């Protein structure tokens, strides 16, 4: 019911966003060191969420497969490189959201026509559904380590997701998911408990150790690790979240800090997963059955039951955070194209389609995971590969929008940003071509 003194047309979303902007205005008026800290605290969120959300179940399992098959060496600095690539991409998405106050799908349809917006939406929704399937695979595997039945694991995840997204307040949702996302740090103590050769870790971070051999499997892991850091859903999610949070051009600087901080945290936790499972490589073990959580079980002799339990919980956490973020990205994108209400500042009764889409895609993905005899391990690795193959066209439109002066005004890409973006785009495309060649004719690898 509307308050008698409330102006006609003011919504729940308007009030919440005005409250957030008022907090920011007060922070801007503060003096001293406290001002910078307070402003950063109020503006961080989308960048950390998108980066730690991409440290999802298939990504962490890809890192685990990397460590168990290749040990410590080439892939530690390679992970840092992939997150540097992610920063280049996501900074543009953040800037677009803050300047335009619109999501990526809406901008696409506005600037390039509904056909392109629709095609990319279909591409995104299909890729997101596949990725969501892998999140539920990871959650099922992680909880399976503790003896939780698959149906209970999937049902519990959907229940948690539904509660998390129906708070009716973006700020509350963001802080809840951020608190959960920081638990991705559990891979750090597992890495420490594995007692790795720290001198070798330091050496690997300072030098690119050559890959021991090229093969179809090597290329699959290489491309999967790129797909673990640069994916289409991240672009849609961060831009829409920045717009929903109500950030403006004045907040772009802190939005960059948010994105870089998220990338550093995610890279550290991803490398921790590689270091933790490198002990399996050193002992000649390479588990492959993700469905039965063999990574956690295989680690028991080396990190103890506590370490193995933390590893399994980390996979569950990674899948849960990503399931929330990817479902939200899907709902944002569909609502932007159809013109429906789309804000986590709106209660479910005011944006029924948005929330039904959000929960509906999770229900479909959860149901797929319960299909008997589905090849879970192959799905986990190939989804990251699909993400790499589907990224170039979306990335191209992102780059065009970031250079569109009618949209961005003075916030268009600088020349060095375009150069960095072109390098990232070339590397992603090269990775896709390399994978295609390895499949069509492995002799060329």
Identify the DSSP state of 217.
H
Output the CA–CA distances (angstroms, integers) from residue 307 to 225, 266, 300, in the order listed. 24, 20, 7
> Averaged over 91-117, what is the pLDDT?
87
Indicate whether 21 pLDDT > 50: yes
Three-state DSSP at 158 gives: helix
pLDDT at 89: 95
> Averaged over 388-409, what is the pLDDT?
88
pLDDT tens-place string over residues 282-294: 877 655 544 445 7
Indicate whether 356 pLDDT > 80: yes
Contact at 8 Å (CB) between 183 and 54? no
CA gap 293, 373 in Å, rounded = 15
User: Residue 92 is encoded by which pair of tokens?
Assistant: 């543009």
Indicate whether 36 pLDDT > 60: yes
The band of 256, judged by pLDDT with boundaries at 50, 70 and 90, is very high
The band of 375, judged by pLDDT with boundaries at 50, 70 and 90, is low
CA gap 327, 360 in Å, rounded = 9
State which fold the 45-444 domain adopts: Amino acid/polyamine transporter I (1.20.1740)
Indicate whether 24 pLDDT > 90: no
Angle subtended at Cα 57 by Cα 153 and Cα 60, rounded to the nearest 5 degrees: 140
Choose from 85-94, 108-117, 294-303, 367-376 the range with maximum mean pLDDT: 85-94
pLDDT tens-place string over residues 267-279: 999 999 999 999 8
Helices (H), 71-113: 75-100, 104-112
> Averaged over 374-397, what is the pLDDT?
73
More confident residue, 9 or 91: 91
pLDDT at 87: 96
pLDDT tens-place string over residues 119-161: 777 878 888 888 888 889 889 888 988 989 989 999 999 998 8
pLDDT at 387: 67
Q: 82, 79, 83: which is closest to 205 by C-alpha?
A: 79
Average pLDDT in the chain: 83
Identify the DSSP state of 349.
G
pLDDT at 8: 47
Q: Is the dihedral of CA 251, 428, 110, 165 positive or negative?
A: negative
pLDDT at 1: 33
Indicate whether 6 pLDDT > 60: no
Q: Which of 11-20, 47-56, 161-170, 315-324 has the lowest mean pLDDT?
A: 11-20
Q: 170, 166, 178: which is closest to 343 by C-alpha?
A: 170
pLDDT at 35: 76
Q: 139, 81, 208: which is closest to 366 by C-alpha?
A: 139
Q: What is the distance, to the nearest Å, from the Cα of residue 260 to the centroid of all Cα atoms in its chain?
A: 14
Q: 188, 204, 233, 185: which is closest to 86 by C-alpha?
A: 233
More confident residue, 290 or 319: 319
Choose from 90-94, 230-234, 235-239 the range with maximum mean pLDDT: 90-94
pLDDT tens-place string over residues 335-350: 888 877 778 888 888 8
Q: Which of 231-235, 270-274, 295-299, 389-393 has the lowest mean pLDDT?
A: 389-393
In DSSP notation, 357-381 reads HHHHHHHHHHHHHTSTT--HHHHHH
pLDDT at 290: 40
The band of 440, judged by pLDDT with boundaries at 50, 70 and 90, is low
**What pTM value is reported for the model?**
0.87
pLDDT tens-place string over residues 158-204: 998 888 888 777 888 888 889 999 999 999 999 999 999 999 899 88
The band of 22, judged by pLDDT with boundaries at 50, 70 and 90, is low
Indicate whether 58 pLDDT > 50: yes
Indicate whether 48 pLDDT > 90: yes
pLDDT tens-place string over residues 208-221: 777 767 777 777 78
- Phi, psi (deg, nearest 5) at residue 197: -75, 100
Q: 352, 404, 16, 378: which is closest to 172 by C-alpha?
A: 16
More confident residue, 26 or 430: 430
Place of tokens 């990674």: 318
pLDDT at 406: 93
Indicate whether 261 pLDDT > 90: yes
Taking the alpha carbons at both ends of the chain, their separation in whole angstroms is 66
Burial, 230: exposed, middle or buried (Cβ in 10 Å; 0-12, 13-18, 19+)? buried
The band of 445, judged by pLDDT with boundaries at 50, 70 and 90, is low
User: Residue 340 is encoded by which pair of tokens?
Assistant: 């429906």
Indicate whether 2 pLDDT > 50: no
Percent share of the chain, pLDDT over 70: 86
pLDDT at 43: 83
In DSSP notation, 305-317 reads HHHHHHHHHHHHH
- Phi, psi (deg, nearest 5) at residue 217: -65, -40
């Amino acid at each position: 019911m509307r308050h008698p003194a409330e102006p006609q047309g003011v919504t729940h979303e308007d009030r919440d966003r005005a409250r957030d902007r008022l907090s920011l205005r007060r922070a801007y008026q503060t003096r001293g060191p406290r001002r910078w800290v307070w402003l950063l605290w109020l503006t961080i969120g989308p960048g950390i969420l998108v980066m730690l959300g991409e440290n999802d179940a298939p990504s962490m399992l890809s890192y685990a497969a990397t460590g168990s098959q290749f040990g410590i060496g080439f892939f530690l600095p390679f992970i840092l490189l992939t997150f540097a690539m992610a920063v280049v991409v996501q900074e543009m998405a953040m800037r677009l959201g803050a300047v335009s106050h619109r999501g990526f799908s809406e901008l696409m349809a506005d600037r390039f026509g509904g056909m392109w917006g629709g095609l990319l939406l279909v591409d995104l929704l299909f890729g997101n559904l596949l990725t969501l399937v892998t999140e539920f695979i990871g959650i099922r595997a992680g909880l399976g380590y503790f003896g939780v039945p698959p149906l209970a694991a999937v049902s519990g995840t959907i229940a948690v997701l539904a509660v998390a997204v129906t708070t009716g307040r973006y700020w509350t949702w963001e802080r809840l998911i951020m608190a959960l996302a920081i638990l991705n740090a559990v891979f750090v103590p597992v890495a420490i408990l594995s007692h790795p050769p720290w001198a070798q870790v330091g050496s690997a971070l300072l030098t690119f150790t050559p890959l021991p051999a090229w093969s179809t499997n090597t290329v699959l892991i290489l491309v999967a690790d790129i797909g673990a850091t640069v994916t289409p859903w991240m672009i849609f999610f961060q831009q829409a979240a920045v717009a929903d949070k109500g950030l403006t051009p004045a907040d772009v600087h802190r939005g960059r800090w948010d994105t870089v901080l998220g990338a550093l945290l995610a890279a550290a936790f991803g490398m921790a997963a590689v270091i933790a499972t490198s002990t399996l490589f050193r002992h000649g073990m390479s588990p492959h059955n993700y469905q039965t959580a063999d990574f956690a079980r295989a680690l028991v002799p080396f990190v103890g039951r506590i370490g193995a339990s933390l590893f399994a919980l980390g996979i569950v956490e990674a899948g849960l955070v990503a399931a929330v973020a990817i479902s939200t990205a899907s709902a944002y994108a569909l609502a932007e194209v159809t013109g429906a209400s789309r804000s986590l500042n709106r209660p479910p009764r005011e944006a029924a389609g948005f929330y039904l889409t959000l929960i509906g895609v999770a229900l479909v993905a959860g149901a797929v995971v319960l299909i008997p005899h589905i090849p879970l391990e192959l799905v986990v690795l190939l989804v990251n590969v699909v993400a790499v193959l589907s990224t170039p066209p979306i990335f191209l439109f992102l780059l065009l929008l970031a250079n569109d002066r009618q949209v961005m005004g003075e916030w268009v890409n600088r020349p060095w940003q375009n150069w960095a973006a072109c390098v990232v785009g070339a590397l992603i495309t090269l990775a896709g071509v390399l994978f295609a060649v390895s499949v069509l004719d492995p002799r060329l690898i």
